[in-house]
Structure 1
Amino acid sequence: MLNKVLSVENLQKSFKNAKVLKDISFDVREGEIMAILGPNGAGKSTTIRNIMGIMYPDEGSVTFHNHNGNEIPRYKIGYLPEERGLYKNVKVMDILLYFADLKDYPKEKAKQRALDYLKKFDLEGKENSPVEELSKGQGQKIQFIGSIIHEPELLILDEPFSGLDPVSQEVFKNEIKQLAKNGTSILLSSHQMNLVEEMCDRLFMINRGEKVIYGLMDDVKKEYANFKCTIRGKNEQSTLESLPEVTRVEQSDEISILYLTQEVEVTKWLSQLPETLDVQELSVDRVSLHEIFVDIATDQTLAQEVGASNA
Structure 2
Amino acid sequence: MSAIPSVDLKDFVSGDPQRKQKFTEEIGGAFENIGFVALSGHFLSDELVDQLYDEVKKFFALPQEVKDKYEIEGIGGQRGYTSFGKEHAKGRKEGDLKEFWHFGQYVEDDPKLEAEYPDNVHVEELPAFNEVGKEAYKMLEKTAQYVLRALALHLGLEEYYFDKWIKNGNSILRPIHYPPITEEPKNAVRAAAHGDINLITLLMGAHGKGLQVKNHKGEWVDAIARPDQLMINVGDMLSRLSNNKLKSTIHRVVNPPRELWGTSRYSIPFFMHPISEMPLNCLENCIDEDHPKLYPDITAGEFLHERLIELGLIKG
TM-score range, shorter chain: under 0.3
The TM-score normalised by the length of structure 2 is 0.24
Q: Which structure carries more helix by proportion?
A: 1
Specify which structure has the bigger relative contact order, considering alpha-carbon pairs within 8 angstroms and separated by 6 or more residues. Answer: 2
